[in-house]
Amino acid sequence: MRTAEIKRRFLSHFEANGHAVVPSAPLPAIDDPNLLFINAGMVQFVPYFLGQRTPPWKRATSVQKCIRTPDIDEVGKTSRHGTFFQMNGNFSFGDYFKEGAITLAWDLITKSVEEGGFGLDPERIWATVYLDDDEAFDIWHSKIGLPEERIVRRGKADNYWSMGIPGPCGPCSEIYLDRGPEYGREGGPEVDEDRYMEFWNLVFMQNERGPGADKENYPILGELPAKNIDTGMGLERMASILQGVDNIYEIDEIRPILDKAVQMTGREYGTRSGHVASESHPDDVRLRVIADHVRTSLMLIADGVTPSNEGRGYVLRRIMRRAIRAIRLLGWQGPALPELLPVARDCMAPSYPEVASDFERIASYAYAEEEAFLSTLRAGTTILDTAMAETKLAGGTRLTGEQAFQLHDTYGFPIDLTLEIAAEQGLAVDEEGFRRLMSEQRRRAKADAQARKTGHVDLSAYRQVLEAGGPVEFTGYEETARESR
Ligand code: ATP
Ligand code: MG
Ligand code: MG
Ligand code: MG
């Protein structure tokens, strides 16, 4: 089943059950100073959950474009994390609650394909509930008929959902599919989250969270005015299930980009790996990263983000650079985006016509960014070559932290690339020294930013003295007095 068809079926299931179909909000989260990008379907509905605004409907459904940069290091190494993905959702604003949400979800996933559902085998479905949520446990067990062995109670990190920042939150129930022994170890979601793949999360949105970065330890401020439902089904994950492929990078909306990279680099894909994503050949991981990041770049620029050195623009820049670097490491030398981006456009245009109609603008930003990065790489490579030759001449085996830092700082030359190229020449790099210099620089930048924000002068130099030598006493009068004696 094609991704566009899964999306259509999802929306029509909920529309038939009284939900208003609401379009996706754009990716940049412009209304929330704490959030760079929309990371879930519920974000555009936050004021309704908090009771700040009255929703025009009791029930809504949407397919929301999402960005999750915290997942960037997982891309390609798990079967299920993209930096961009689409979240199918249904929402109840003080209308149905746990039983309604679980029943509506179960009906859609187990209804046969002929009847308009997704036709999943009930025997392979698992559910999780929050530790003490007996109500949800009972609905799964008594009403739906899921055996107790396939209902798992999990703690706050997995089964108590929030956006990661202050706002609505609540216990949740996640739905998993056991993809079978070839995908990993037996024992349920707590043992192997790639074999048992989470594809849908039902959140019982009833409380408000306060600030705090710790996933398991943030204050709950109190109850929301109503009991709500917020669900999110990963469209790409469902597509990977229904298309019978190993991971989300192999679905119809992404695979052609991956295939293009295969064709460009002459590398093989998938022949050296089994079904377990975490054991993939490094080339396979890189090819997936390229496919994911090129698609994300397309969608971000389409929504008005442009590469820059801060905020949203910097996220985009980092994602583009990772894609460009990855394809160079697979042996492709010239500009890659003019080859890859049109393929991504053709994948996404059926669902998002604006990526085709606005392609000229999108491409001009993307190609200019790649040109600039390639010249950075060229400049840095010359410096790196010289540094490596000097090191070897002096009988050394390792580049210094300062050299790596200078490449990074002056030429924007990423450390991974320094490591990779040095390794090809049989040289190591003092990574620890590099990281020390990086964190010193970060500390300076933070102090500067703080000074700009508060209008205070830069005290970081004093702070360093303090940290190095303990508290400093003011002895000026005495000393001056002594000197003048
Ligand atoms: P996981 O535990 O696999 O990282 P999650 O619990 O962080 O997923 P939720 O916040 O519950 O995910 O989001 C709702 C749904 O969105 C998930 O059930 C999944 O189907 C999908 N999803 C979440 N993160 C991603 C991602 N990075 N790429 C693709 N789909 C995702
Ligand atoms: Mg996650
Ligand atoms: Mg999860
Ligand atoms: Mg989840």
Residues in the ligand 1 pocket, defined by CB under 6 Å: 68, 71, 80-82, 85, 87, 198-201, 232-234, 236-237
Closest residue by Cα to atom 1, ligand 1, is: 198
Cβ atoms within 10 Å of 214's Cβ, excluding its own:
8
Mark which of 342, 374, 406 sits at the end of a domain.
Answer: 374
Could you tell me if 152 and 173 are in contact, meaning their C-beta atoms sit under 8 angstroms apart? no
Could you tell me if 402 and 433 are in contact, meaning their C-beta atoms sit under 8 angstroms apart? yes
Q: Residues 6 or more apart from 249 whose CB is under 8 A from it?
A: 76, 82, 255, 258, 287, 288, 291, 292
Residue 453 lies in a domain: no
Question: Residue 452: what pLDDT?
Answer: 62
Query: DSSP H helical segments within 198-234, as ranges?
Result: none
Could you tell me if 273 and 284 are in contact, meaning their C-beta atoms sit under 8 angstroms apart? yes
Residue 322 lies in a domain: yes
Residues 316 and 208 in one domain: no
The DSSP secondary-structure symbol of 41 reads: G
Residue 413 lies in a domain: no
ipTM of the complex: 0.99
Ligand nearest to the CA of residue 85, numbered in listed order: 1
For the CA atoms of 370, 372, 376, 377, the dihedral, rounded to the nearest 10 degrees, stands at 20
Ligand 1 mean position to 202 CA, how many Å? 11
Mark which of 329, 346, 374 sits at the end of a domain.
Answer: 374
Instruction: Return per-residue pLDDT of the chain as tens, 485 residues.
Output: 999 999 999 999 999 999 999 999 999 998 888 899 999 999 999 999 999 999 999 999 999 999 999 999 999 999 999 999 999 999 999 999 999 999 999 999 999 999 999 999 999 999 999 999 999 999 999 999 999 999 999 999 999 999 889 999 999 999 999 999 999 999 999 999 999 999 999 999 999 999 988 888 899 999 999 999 999 999 999 999 999 999 999 999 999 999 999 999 999 999 998 999 999 999 999 999 999 999 999 999 999 999 998 899 989 998 999 999 899 989 999 999 999 999 999 999 999 999 999 999 999 999 999 999 999 888 888 889 999 999 999 999 999 999 999 999 888 787 877 887 898 889 999 999 999 999 999 898 888 777 665 554 444 444 454 444 444 333 333 333 333 33
Residues 13 and 48 in one domain: yes
What are the residues facing 43 on neighbouring strands? none
Q: What are phi and psi of 31, to 5 degrees?
A: -85, -10
Ligand 3 mean position to 209 CA, how many Å? 19
Structure tokens at 90: 């249904």
State how many domains the chain has.
2
Q: Which domain holds residue 34?
A: 3-242
Question: Residue 483: what pLDDT?
Answer: 33
Query: What is the Cα–Cα distance from 421 to 419, expressed in whole angstroms?
Result: 6
Residues 200 and 301 in one domain: no
Ligand 1 mean position to 213 CA, how many Å? 19
Residues 302 and 235 in one domain: no
